Amino acid sequence: MSLIPRLVVAYDFSDPARRAFELAVFMGRQLKADVHVATVLESSESPSSAGGKEIEDLRQLLEMQTRDTVQADGVEIRCHALGGSPADAIVALARELDAPLILCGTTGKGAVARTLLGSVSHDLVNKSGAIVMSVP
């Protein structure tokens, strides 16, 4: 059994997120781990009340942008579209899956921008309790 049987990739359709996804697929092959790719429809509403059709459309787009673009070679890739706060939703999924590793892209914001706008990767580190790998 692998030390890391499953991992979560936070995916926001950016170039760094794509690189994080590609790294996750590589790591999934090496570790024989399932890869769970998650994107979040940011909403101040509770995650369960986020629009069902919008969430399903987002999940299908996520599949087209990720799972359907790589040769998985035996790696199980599952796509999740969630609602709510991005960091909170990703942390909740990682906990639900008991995933010890989260990968995310980083935008390279400076300290001032990070302070004013927040940072999902920073929140993942502080909230998750998992190993968080930030990919530029």
CATH code, domain with 12? 3.40.50.620
CB 90 within 8 A of CB 119: no
Is 107 within the bounds of a domain? Answer: yes
Is 91 within the bounds of a domain? Answer: yes
Domain that holds residue 129: 6-135
Is 1 within the bounds of a domain? Answer: no
d(CA 131, CA 67): 23
Indicate the number of domains in the chain.
Answer: 1
For the entire predicted model, the pTM comes to 0.88
Q: Tell which wins on pLDDT, 136 or 92.
A: 92
Give the confidence band of 46 by pLDDT, cuts at 50, 70, 90: low
Is 110 within the bounds of a domain? Answer: yes
Is 17 within the bounds of a domain? Answer: yes
3-state helix, strand, coil in the chain (%, to 5): 50, 25, 30
- pLDDT tens column, 87-120: 999 999 999 999 999 999 987 665 554 554 458 8
pLDDT number for residue 110: 59
Least confident of 76-80, 100-104, 125-129: 125-129
Report the chain's mean pLDDT, rounded to a whole number: 87
